[in-house]
Every structure is written in C-alpha cells, then in structure tokens.
Structure 1
Amino acid sequence: MTASLQDARHCPLHTARELATEFARTAVERDERGGTPKAERDALRESGLLALSIPRQFGGLGASWSDTFEVVREFARVDSSIAHVFGFHHLMLATVRLFGSAEQWQPWFELTARKNWFWGNALNPLDTRTTVRTFGGWREFSGKKSFCSGASDSQMLVASAVDESAGGKLLIGAIPTARTGITVHDDWQNMGQRQTESGSATFERVRVEESDLLLDPGPLSTPFACLRPLIAQLHFANIFLGIAQGAFAEARQYTLTETRPWFKSGASNSGQDPYVLAHFGDFWVSLESARLLVELAAQRLDQAWAKGARLSADERGQLAVTIATAKVAAQRHGLELCSKVFEVTGARSTHASVGLDRHWRNLRTQSLHDPLDYKLHELGDWALNQNLPTPTFYS
C-alpha cells in the first residue's frame, strides 16, 4: 500500500484538502484552457480517493455518502470540473452496484480499488442515438452519445443504448473505455465546467457481452435501485454548494485585501462599509441554509442506502423530496451569490487574471443538467397534493 493510500484511509478529507490546495494553484489557467486535466486526474488516482465509496471488504475506503460528498464539495470550492468528474466516478460505481448483480459489481469494485480505475459516463438516457443489435450471446452498440462527462482518460464507461426490437428498452452496460469501436471526442467547448470533458462519444459496432449488461435487478427496477438518480441529484447539489462556498471564500479574501471602500461610505476599509457587510450577511445566510439542507439530505441518503433491498417506495419518495429541496436551495442561492460577489469586490475583480467569474459560469452550466422548473413542479405536487415524485433518471 502506498503512503498516499495509507493517508487516504486514515483521513480522506485531509487528503482531499491537500489535493484541492494544489488544484487551486492552476484552476484559473486550466479553466481558460479546457481539455483534460490529466495531471490532476492522475493525482486523484495516486491519492486512493477513487476507492473512497467502495466498501472496505473490496479494497476501498468504505466512506459514507455524506463523507464522499464532503470531498466533492472540497474540490468544488476550487475546481468544480474536478469535483464533477470525481463525483461522477462514484456515481458510476453506485450505478453498477444498484443495477447489476453482485457477481458483476464486486469484481469491478475490487479492480477499481486495486488498479485505480477512473469510471466515466456515457449513459445520458435522453440521447437515444445509440442503438442495440442482438446476436447470439452478445449485443452490439452503435451510435453517438452526448454529455459524456469524464469519459476521456477513463478505464471504464457506463453506457446506454436503445433496443428498438424490445420496444425502445434502455440497456445499460459497463464497458472498458479502450474497447474496440469506442471513440471519445474532444468536443466540449462550453462556457463552464470546461475540464469535465462532457463532450460526445461514438460507438461503432461495439461488442457488449451479456456479462457487461446491468440486467439484475436492472435500471430503476426496485426502490433501492431507484436511489441512483437521487445520488446524481445530490451530487449536483453538493457541486452547487461547493462552488458557492469557493466564490464566497475568494470574494472575502479579495474584499479584505484588494477592494477599496466607496468614497461616500465614510469607512477606512471595505471591511467596515455598511453595504459590503450587509451583502456578506446575505451570503452567509444563503450558504448556511443550503449547507444544512444538503447535509441533511446526505444523512438521509446514508440511512436509505443502509436499508438496501428493504427500502420501501415511500421511503425512497420521501428522500427524493428532501434531495430535491436541497438541490433547489443550493442552485438558487449559489447562482445569486456567484453573481453578487462582484458587488462587494468591485470593478477590478472582473479582470481575467482573478478568475472570479468562473464560479458563476461553472454553476450556471452545471445547473442546466435538468430544468429547475420541473423540480419545483414535483415539489409543488408534494407540498399541495402529497404526491411523491415518480422515479425517473432525473427525479
């Protein structure tokens, strides 16, 4: 066992903070450059944190979801692209655990922990361009997938395809990224999350064995399996919160060291300007309210996860409401804070070298994963009619 892995086992959060300090040194430059953060991904491999959520009996660190998401937030404060692909890695591990059989996910967990595999995403259930052909004992995936976060520089992909011969059934498999016929494209050119590698992938007659397919119990087949979209939603909430916390920290430091008080304030420094203080008071209330909701949601996810197959549909529905509430709060408060920090930092803070704008761009980009209006519709249906959200890949 390497020294870094021993450190991660002892205190994963300490390891994450050390990594985040290093990531922060180049975060602004890398945000401008985009592409694959190869050195940072390799640092994650070396750290042992890719095994964070894997149970100890399979070689992992055995962290709870609360602890895993705390690490996601730690990264998101300085580099939300790294936070996204790191969290998605653990979401993909949860996907094979929830949708697949023990004979599948246990060896994958062990190999991931031992070989420091990075898992990427090519699932996107709304993109139906990848289709299935069935042969004797195996399938063939062909087509294109969008929003393939973390697919570049990964060892495994969770991918989906539509089986038109089975009425449009969605088949999901875990496939080595290097398998013949898979091409991951460098075509992610969006305004935010620039190093998430969330572009497209092409599947050209990719052979998929029956043992690669997640059929037992299958996607969204049981209340426990239906935790998968809730883990994804809470992952986003933690990214939003971490980004906002990072923007707050940078704005605070800049205000105390660089910002000049407005000449009419009568204050000798910006730390005494009454309007600056009022803004920071609002920021604090927003962050604390979002943090409490997000941490409560993670605690309840841990409780649901521990129940496994005993989890009921009603319990899963109640958790969905808790997580949706946290996500809405983190998104709303985060977007407002990341925009309003400029009202306390002033005009000079808009210089490109400061990079303060990246927080809003990243949060705004990530928040469009699924519409907030529909999340509020689900919450409204619960608040008014006591109807729990129907499980989908987004709720």
Structure 2
Amino acid sequence: MTSTLSRDTTVHPDRSAWTETPSDSAGWIRRAHEVASILAADAVERDRAGATPHAEVALLKESGLVTLLGPVEHGGGGQNWVTAYEVIRAVAAGDGSIGQLLGYHLLWFWAARLVGTREQIEAVETAATQNKWFFGGAVNPRDSDVTITDNGDTISYTGRKSFSTGSHVSDVTVLEGVLETTGAHIFAIVPSNSEGLTFHHDWDNLGQRLTESGSVTIDNVTTEWASAAGFVDKEFQPRVYNTLNVPIIQLVFVNFYLGIARGALQAAADYTRDTTRPWLHGGFDRAVDEPYVIDTYGDLTTKLWAAEALADAVAVEQQKIHDNAWDVTAEERGAHEVRVAAAKAAATDVALEITTRIFEVTGARSTSSKVGLDLFFRNVRTHTLHDPVAYKRREVGRHQLIGELPEPTWYS
C-alpha cells in the first residue's frame, strides 16, 4: 500500500539503467515512477497538442513496462497483477492518458490467459514479450455490430466500433465479434496494420485526450480459426476464469483514477507551497499555515489513502484468483466482483472530489491554463463516465442486503 504522497521529482532519470530488467516488484514500481516523472514534465503541453502518443508508447517500451506481465524466460518482468496495478497508478499520476493506455494494454496482453487455450497462451505471451507488442482493443461492448464470417479455415470480422483505445499506437489489436452462424462471441488478436482495419483518429473529448480512443471500421479483417481465443475445432472451451475480464479492467480503472488523484494532490500541494498567497484578512504569512488549507489537504489525503488501501487489498484478493485460474468457482468470482465494485465506487468518488477541491486551496490564479490543474479533473471526469457508478454501488448494496452475487456481464 502506498502510505505517503511523496514523489520522485527527478525529471530526467538515468534511462541508461533501463537496459537492466528490474528483479523484483519494488524495482518495477520505481521504474514506473521514473516514467511518470518524465511524463509529468510536459503533460499539459502534450495534452494541448493532442498528438498521437507514439513517443509515450516508445517510452513504455523502453522502460520495459509493456512486458511487465510477460514470462521471464522470454525477457518479461514476470510480475503479477498486484504489482501491475501499482505500476498503472504510478504512471497515471504523471499522465492519466498514458496510465490508461498502459492499463488497457496489460489487460489485452493478459487476454490470452483469460480465454485462450494453454497452447494459445504460450504462443501469444512468447511473441508479445519477445517483440514488445503494444496492444489495443476494439471490444466496446455497447456496439454489437461486428459480425464474423466462417470461411472454413479462417474467420473474417466486419463492422464498426465507436471506441478503440490505443488504436493508432498499437502493434496488435484485439477484435471481438459475433459469429453469424451460432451467435458465439470470438476474440482474436490481429496486427493493427491489417488490411481492412481503419482507425479514424476522431477521439476529441474533454479528457484522456492522448488515449487514441476513437472509432474503428473493420472491413473483412481475416485471421486463422486457430487464433480464435479459447476455440478448439470451432467450439469454445468455457471456464469461469473467462469472465474475469471485467473485474480486471474495472480494477485497472480504479488504479488510474487513484493515480490521477494522487498526481492532482501532489501538483496542488506543490503549487500551494510555492505560489498560493495567504488570504489578506486571515492573519497568516503563508498559505500553508491557513487552517482551512491544512484541513482540506488532511481531509483529501485521508480519503485518498483509504481508497488506495481498499484497492490494494482487492488486488491481493484478485491475485489469489489468478493463481487458481483453472479452478476458480462462480461464487469466488462473484464475491470478488462485489469487492471490485466497492473499490470502483470509492475511487470514483475520491478522484472526483480531489480533482475538484484542489482549486479551493490553490487559489484563483491556479485556474490559469498554463498551470494545468484542470487536466486532472478533465481526465477523471471523462473516464468515470465509462459506466454508471450507481450500478457498482447497487452490486455492493444487493450483496449486503440479500447476499446476491452479480451475474457476469460486459460490465459486472
């Protein structure tokens, strides 16, 4: 658990040291903080420019974070999801967009483990780790207009998705669609430069501007049946672990929300110490001595630490499921989803509160666009609308009242 809000203020860490792979979780988390410090230095300027984040993804590759979950024998970090969530949180403190990109990438890197056969898992993780693939995904569940045609030895995807996070910067893209003949959902990984795959670069939203989450057209994109995740002889091999994609991605959300909140609180504290003026009628010489300023930072820090502690505890609980992936039960999965829902609700509330209330203790001049404190709010406000947090609280409430476990859906 992160117990302080201190941050690595080194703007230019020694990147030559990145040629060596960290040997433990602590080393990877330090590496993530180094990446965050590089990103934070010009996050506001890059957000304004809105350029496709090729350099930022190259940074994630250079640092090794893209292979954090990859097998050690193939050059990966060999880390688990407990470390991965802390890494996502650290990177998001420097730049929320890149924290999201990394989090989504790690989920799609893991997708073969979620739904693939043992042979597919081995093949995908070997290739992805050795080649440092960066993953994108065209799997927006609100759009059910991608159909799959069975061509015999191959399958072809055709349709459109409104959102495809990481599109222009990915090496490979996870596609999802519905097989015309049976209605089965099929996931497959294809090269992002595949013929017929067109990313429209039309993401123009309030926040998370560098996530390349625009729409995609999929026109007869063809791949081998052998790449259909979890299918053997054109039949899917189901297990409960297949449904863990939602708890994973929701906990990814939790951690980059908390990372953005942490970054906001750190940036605000720096501004208050260095720039904010005390109120002229308050009787104090420094803003940091104002009682209401002290109280606000104490309040927000306490709430952030509490939300981080819950997120860390839920991550540990989830790791036990990952460690028992082939035998996890529906009851274990459902009980875990309730805990994830609670963490999601807590992270949403605290991130929105922190990114809003920091202006109360930084002063009117802190609203200047060159200061950039608005970036934290815009990022959190944008992504927390992904799915209504009220439905997360409903999962928790119904479990508390009647012991109900949520049924697996695209959002629960």
Aligned: 1:181 with 2:196 = yes
SS at match of 2:52: coil
Contact map agreement 1:147 1:198 (CA 8 A) in 2: yes
Separation in structure 1 between the aligned mates of residue 238 and residue 341 of structure 2, nearest angstrom? 21
Paired residues of 1:256 and 1:270 also in contact (CA < 8 A):
yes
2:97 to 72, 76, 81: 81
Query: How far off its partner does 1:12 sit?
Result: 1.4
The answer to whether structure 1 residue 21 and structure 2 residue 15 are counterparts is: no
Residue 107 (1) aligns with residue 123 (2): yes
- Please show how residues 149-228 of structure 1 align to structure 2 within 5 Å: 149-166=165-182, 168-216=183-231, 221-228=238-245
Deviation string for 1:190-247 (max 9, x for gaps)?
A: 0100000000111111112101211348989422222211000000000111011000
Q: In structure 1, what is the Cα distance between the partners aligned to 2:313 and 2:336?
A: 10
CA shift digits 1:143-186 (9 cap, x unpaired) = 111221112121111111122432x4322111111111111121
Equivalent-residue separation in structure 1 for 2:140 and 2:237 (angstroms): 14
1:61 and 1:41 map into 2 onto residues whose CA distance is 17
What is the CA distance between 1:136 and its match in structure 2?
1.6
Matching residue's letter, 2:243? C
Contact 2:240–2:330 (CA under 8 A) maintained in structure 1: yes
Report the alpha carbon displacement of residue 78 of structure 1 after superposing the two structures with TM: 1.4
Aligned residues of 1:99 and 1:219 also touching (Cα < 8 A): no
Structure 2 unpaired stretches of 5+: 1-15
| Cα displacement string for residues 39-58 of structure 1 (whole angstroms, at most 9, x for unaligned residues) | 11111112221110123244
State the one-letter code of the partner of 1:153: V
In structure 1, C-alpha distance between the alignment counterparts of 2:281 and 2:239, rounded to whole Å: 63
2:97–2:209 contact (8 Å) kept in structure 1: yes
Matches of 2:79 and 2:365 in 1, distance apart?
Answer: 42
In the other structure, the counterpart of 1:333 is: 350
- Which among 140, 146, 170 is matched to residue 130 of structure 1? 146
Alpha carbons of 1:222 and 1:271: their partners in 2 closer, same or farther (altered >3 Å)?
same
Q: Which moved more, 1:120-129 or 1:185-194?
A: 120-129
| 8 Å Cα contact 1:7/1:15 also seen in 2 | no
Correspondence for 1:140 among 156, 160, 180 = 156
Aligned runs of 1:1-395 on 2, under 5 Å?
4-9=18-23, 11-166=27-182, 168-216=183-231, 221-395=238-412
Aligned to 2:10: none
Aligned partners of 2:53 and 2:169 also within 8 Å: no
AA matched with 1:378: E
> Does the 8 Å CA contact 1:8/1:48 hold for their aligned counterparts?
no
Return the offset for 1:105.
2.1
Of residues 154-163 and 227-236 in structure 1, the stretch that sits farther from structure 2 once superposed is 154-163
Aligned 8 A contact 2:18 2:62 in 1: yes
Assess if the C-alpha contact under 8 Å between 1:152 and 1:197 holds in 2.
yes
Q: Distance in 2 between matches of 1:186 and 1:144?
A: 14
Report the equivalent of 2:11.
none
Aligned partners of 1:260, 1:203: CA distance in 2, in Å?
55
- Is the Cα–Cα contact under 8 Å of residues 122 and 145 in structure 1 kept in the other structure? yes
Q: Deviations over 1:349-376 (max 9, x none)?
A: 0000111001011011111111111111
Task: Rate the CA distance shift 1:358–1:136 in 2: closer, same or farther, 3 A.
Answer: same
Q: In the aligned structure 1, how far is the partner of 2:367 from the partner of 2:222? A: 50
Q: Using the alignment, how far apart are the partners of 2:290 and 2:306 within structure 1?
A: 25
Find the aligned partners of 2:28 and 2:223 in 1 and give their Cα distance: 35
Q: 1: CA distance between counterparts of 2:169 and 2:184?
A: 29
CA contact (8 A) 1:156 1:176 kept: yes
CA distance in 2, matches of 1:266, 1:224: 60
Task: Report which stretch shifted further, 213-222 or 65-74.
Answer: 213-222
The CA RMSD over aligned residues, in Å, is 1.7
Secondary structure of 1:120's aligned partner = strand
How many residues were matched structurally? 393
Q: Is the Cα contact below 8 Å between 1:350 and 1:356 reproduced in 2?
A: yes
Alpha-carbon distance in 2 for matches of 1:149, 1:5: 28
Instruction: Tell me the secondary structure at the aligned position of residue 140 of structure 1.
Output: strand
Cα distance change, pair 219–35 in 1 and its aligned pair in 2 (3 A): farther
Supply the distance in 2 between the matched residues of 1:58 and 1:221 (Cα, whole angstroms). 28
SS where residue 240 of structure 1 aligns?
Answer: helix
TM-score calculated relative to the size of structure 1: 0.96
- Secondary structure of the residue aligned to 1:144 is strand
